[in-house]
Structure 1
Amino acid sequence: MSAAPQELDLVDYDEAVAQFDPVLGLEVHVELSTVTKMFSGAPTEFGAAPNTQVDPVSLGLPGALPVLNAKALESAVRIGLALNCRIADRCRFARKNYFYPDMPKNFQTSQYDEPIAFDGHLDVEVPASEDGTKPAFTYRVEIERAHMEEDTGKSLHVGGSTGRIHGAEYSLVDYNRAGIPLIEIVTKPLTGTGDRAPDVARAYVATLRDLLRALDVSDVKMEQGSLRCDVNLSLRPSPEAPLGTRSETKNVNSLRSVERAVRYEVRRHAALLRAGERVVQETRHWHEDTGLTTSGREKSDAEDYRYFPEPDLVPVEPDPAWVEQLRATLPEPPAQRRRRLQGEWGFSDAEMRDVGNAGAVDLVEATVAAGAPAAAARKWWTGELARRANADGTDLASLPVTPEQVAQLQALVDAGTLTDRLAREALEGVLAGEGSPAEVVESRGLAVVSDESALVAAVDAAIAANPGVVEKIRGGKAQAAGALIGAVMKEMRGKADAARVRELVVERVGA
């Protein structure tokens, strides 16, 4: 069994970036949300039983011929346009030759020297540091290319402590993912980031994720591998020096991990260079639990893959008129949309950031459109509903409640039919599938008691049962009224308007 990765004697991050200039290169793999695979009709359902989403093409069986998925091509063009890329008049596929057990053909159908989209850019808003010492700024990420390819299968290493092949007792292969449509988006070297390199990397992936979600081409669920980032990093003595030797940290699958991986590799490279050692051009594995990277294999160059044109697929020649039609379908850029909505809703920067971090922009917008005040919609989705989603290990949009139902709940609160506490109880019923908010209120008997005589009777009973408290109130201790209010609310099972109860207590006590 292999030993757990050991922490290196790393250089302090601030010292590292003071001595060396970091250069980033980010490769993001996006699984498209098509119904079928890139070159065949095999289904793409996530989480299906192993080796049930396959067919002769995705298994690489002799005689099986690929056919390009038209929806995948459309998605690729829309992604390229949204990234301000040039769309190729003509492009073709190539065979990328290398052996992995989870790649049944022993080559990956990809694009090499003729990508579908190239020479683009994406402007990224990098937020200020949490302590406020580093200001926000906009960084333009230059896009080298966005090309189409197919995903590989997945190897499962059983036994051992790391989940990797070293130390495993045996391995299994699941070909469900083989052939899933991928778009790989490759940046040009990101220079001039300085000590903000981790922040730029995280902000870029976050911005790209928001853009892809707005395009509706992928579910971009990093935890499920729908969006994966390879982090290339090198250090050089100064911005004027040639680029250093890079490492490539593979398949980083969360925004926080992208930031952490960059920070760790800066410190590791600096430690090697300070010690006079050589940085190896290699792929590295990211360990989420420890925050370390470990060596994978020496990184191959393009010529090592023996690329050659795919003989079974014809070149792709997108019709310029069709491309322009797709350009017209592009949504409002997410950053521009957030600024517009923030102004309409009157949110502070912090409030809008909370909505964005919760992935609730669309949900809040739909809830406001259904009639809820913006502040109330934000409170529901970033508060109670976010808490429940976290507890269930799901995302907000997957909760069994609609923006319209949240707006209906808030309308019941605004009308005085429900208190905040009763509204949360009504929400439980909605989430449990008991019906609409109004139906849950009716079936559970949650409506606030509006019978004034019942409230007066409950207040008088509380006053009679607590003479000592009454004397304190009459003696000028107004805060003592809380005890009587609490007694009334308990008697009414929380179905009373606390403000009205307070008014009645003051009135009946004669304070």
Structure 2
Amino acid sequence: MLDLSFESPKPKVIAGAKHDWELVIGMEVHAQVASKAKLFSGASTRFGAEPNSNVSFVDAAMPGMLPVINEFCVAQAVRTGLGLKAEINLFSAFDRKNYFYPDLPQGYQISQLYHPIVGEGEVIVDMEPGVARRVRIERIHLEQDAGKSIHDMDPAMSFVDLNRTGVALMEIVSRPDIRGPEEAAAYVTKLRQILRYLGTCDGNMQNGNLRADVNVSVCRPGQYEKYQETQDFSHLGTRCEIKNMNSMRFIQAAIDYEAKRQIAILEAGGSIDQETRLYDPDKGETRSMRSKEEAHDYRYFPDPDLLPLEIEQAWVDEIAASLPELPDQKKARFVADFGLSEYDASVLTADVVSADYFEKVAAGRDGKMAANWVINELFGRLKKEGHEITESPVSPEQLGAIIGLIQKGDISGKIAKDLFEIVYTEGGNPEEIVEARGMKQVTDTGAIEAAVDEVIAANPDQVEKAKANPKLAGWFVGQVMKATGGKANPKAVNALVSAKLGL
């Protein structure tokens, strides 16, 4: 197990003109359930379909059409709760959240206010090696997404696409435990990582499959501690909600701007209006969207078309037994089994696909060498070319074979890099390429000794210099490697050069 020390979140202290201020952040992350069908209908959830082509009669709120719960979506919510070490509520119920908007045909959203399917849990956020923060999860509830209003096709008109209407969302609500912009981004990053390991959400922020509402407030130093003692939110200051953030960079920028905006108002003697705001990435600022509604504004009431949802503990246990190895567990195992540093293990487990790739490369081989090749050679090349690991032209079996050839002494590190380039650009079996192109390392001591003798005999002046300064022996090693086309075993060359020069 990794030795993680948990410490109280260190607040982001912002110096105002008159006082120091601290940030307090809570987040509501909307994660689209990885399901091919919607929450209450059989309509497709495929992204990029023609507008209004993935719409059932239920989604369009046609008279007489009744919702039917998608059991798979319920299972995915339970799976997510278990992955976040949360309480699973065997009894939950759906409510209607009433409001008018053109892309909401029903005139209400089906959600879970009073009885969510998942209760309290936690996310462990890695802030630096050996140090982690605990962010408490208040609840996770299932709800249906709204459609999309499109305003940029015709300046005089707005269009409505109902393809997203009814898509299942998990709203993951945190406590106000986050204390800075960087920590907020780290929290969303870790949550996204866990969801992708679980397979309950693909985490694609660009497509809107994972987006966050960020609640920001500022308070004077010491007020947060009073909140922790009393659970009285009035100590934290009035919060503003920044809606629909779908970028880690924008989350940080929006929080930073919003905090400074609130501080400027407070220090000028004003007060903060509780409201919903949007972030404009072009201007780098938040702007008011609407006053922040309370629960009573939505006139919540139990949905009369849906019975309460009652699930059995045996079903929950069955889902729990199917959970995969999660990021923190995998990271600890990589450190223990492969002798990796925490940093390397973190890089390799950041994505489940990368972790699986590494394990195939390292199977039966030197773990540290495998990590070095995957992180530095492969990831470095892919990043430079703008590719994902799923687009790698080098399979884990091919890279593993290259490392195997190094370990057997068939090729040197330098030859291995040349071989990697060939496999990356041309493909092929590494062992066959080495044989066909005569790339195998020269291990014949006699042949290497002859090359060393030849270089020494041709450079008497350099010999005297090397005897006076042993560091210059490296020059002879380089010349021998050059003379043998880089095929000589470097260890053998070093040993023979030292012996011949009497060093």
TM-score range, shorter chain: 0.7 to 0.9
Q: Which residue matches 1:54?
A: 54
Aligned ranges 1:469-484 → 2 under 5 Å: 469-476=459-466
Aligned-partner Cα distance in 2 for 1:310–1:88 = 18
Q: How does 1:82-481 map to 2 (within 5 A)?
A: 82-118=83-119, 120-122=120-122, 124-128=124-128, 136=131, 138-139=133-134, 141-155=135-149, 157-158=151-152, 174-190=161-177, 196-237=179-220, 238-239=223-224, 240=226, 241-288=234-281, 291-332=284-325, 334-356=327-349, 362-363=355-356, 366-367=359-360, 370-431=363-424, 434-442=427-435, 446-449=439-442, 467=458, 469-476=459-466
TM-score by length of 1: 0.78
Distance 2:207 2:436 in 1: 39
Which whole-Å deviations, capped at 9, do the CAs of 1:130-161 have from their partners, x for residues lacking one? 9xxxx94543x3322211122334455548xx
Tell me, which stretches of 5 or more residues in structure 2 are unaligned?
Answer: 1-11, 227-233
The structural deviation recorded for 1:274 is 0.8
Paired position in structure 1 for 2:230? none
* Separation of aligned partners in 2, 1:459 and 1:366: 40
Give the match for residue 7 of structure 1: none
Asked if structure 2 preserves the Cα contact closer than 8 Å seen for 1:364 and 1:377, the reply is no
Question: How does the TM-score come out when normalised to structure 2?
Answer: 0.79
Q: CA deviation at 1:320?
A: 2.7
Q: For 1:300 and 1:53, how far apart are their aligned partners in 2?
A: 32
Structure 2 Cα separation of the partners of residues 436 and 100 of structure 1:
59
Tell me which residue corresponds to 1:4.
none
Distance in 2 (alpha carbons) for counterparts of 1:87 and 1:358: 26
SS at match of 1:13: strand
- Mapped to 1, the partners of 2:173 and 2:87 lie a distance apart of 14
Distance 1:270 1:501, change over 3 A: same
**Identical positions, percent:** 38
The amino acid across from 1:219 in the alignment is D
Taking the aligned partners of 2:432 and 2:58, their CA distance within structure 1 comes to: 49
Select between 272-281 and 250-259 the one with higher mean Cα deviation: 250-259
Distance 1:152 1:442 in 2: 60
Tell me the distance in 2 between the aligned counterparts of 1:202 and 1:116: 26
Q: What residue is the counterpart of 1:28 in the other structure?
A: 29
The residue type equivalent to 1:475 in the other structure is K
* Aligned amino acid, residue 410 of structure 1: I
Greater Cα offset, 450-459 or 470-479: 450-459
Query: Which region of structure 1 is more displaced relative to structure 2, 344-353 or 21-30?
Result: 344-353
CA distance in 2, matches of 1:501, 1:374: 26
Distance 1:358 1:323, change over 3 A: closer
Distance 1:475 1:198, change over 3 A: closer
Instruction: Give the stretch that moved more between structures: 376-385 or 56-65.
Output: 56-65
Give the conservation status (yes or no) of the 8 Å contact 1:153–1:174.
yes
Seen in structure 2, the aligned counterparts of structure 1 residues 218 and 427 have a Cα distance that, compared at 3 Å, is: farther
Equivalent position amino acid for 1:117 in 2:
V
What does 1:57-76 correspond to in 2, within 5 Å?
A: 57=57, 60=60, 62=62, 65-76=66-77
- The answer on whether the counterparts of 1:228 and 1:252 sit within 8 Å (CA) in structure 2 is yes
Amino acid at match of 1:413: I
Question: 1:207-244: per-residue Cα shift (whole Å, max 9, x none)?
Answer: 32333233221222344433222110122443445442
User: Which letter does structure 1 place at the counterpart of 2:92?
Assistant: C
Distance 1:480 1:197, change over 3 A: closer
Amino acid at match of 2:115: E
Q: Which consecutive unaligned segments of at least 5 residues does structure 1 have?
A: 1-10, 160-164
- When the two structures are aligned, how many residues end up with a matched partner? 479
Q: CA RMSD in A?
A: 4.0
Q: How far apart, CA to CA, are the structure 2 residues paired with 1:445 and 1:391?
A: 30
